[in-house]
Amino acid sequence: MDQRTIDIFAWIRALGEDRGELQYAALPRLASLLASETGTLAWESRGWVERPAGGSEVMMLRVLASARPMLTCVNCLEPVAVDLAVDRTLRIVGDEASAARLDEQEPEIDVIAGSRRFDLLELIEDEAIMALPPLARHDQCEVPGRWHDEDDEPEAESSGALAALASLKKGSPGGVQ
E strand or H helix that includes residue 146? helix 142-152
E strand or H helix that includes residue 48? strand 40-50
Question: 63 φ, ψ to 5°?
Answer: -125, 125
Least separation in angstroms between CB 81 and Zn ion: 11
Q: Which is nearer to Zn ion, 5 or 75 (CB)?
A: 75
Least separation in angstroms between CB 37 and Zn ion: 20
Instruction: Determine contact, residues 111/5, Cβ cutoff 8 Å.
Output: no
User: Which residues make beta-bridge pairs with 60?
Assistant: 48, 91
Q: Which is nearer to Zn ion, 57 or 142 (CB)?
A: 142
Least separation in angstroms between CB 131 and Zn ion: 21
Q: Which is nearer to Zn ion, 4 or 146 (CB)?
A: 146
Query: What residue ranges bind Zn ion (CB under 5 A)?
Result: 73, 75-76, 138, 141
Closest listed residue to residue 85, CA positions, set 44, 39, 118: 44
Least separation in angstroms between CB 135 and Zn ion: 11
Least separation in angstroms between CB 2 and Zn ion: 43
Q: Which is nearer to Zn ion, 41 or 73 (CB)?
A: 73
Q: Which is nearer to Zn ion, 39 or 79 (CB)?
A: 79
How would you list the strands of the sheet with 17-23, edge to edge? 17-23, 40-50, 58-67, 84-93, 111-113
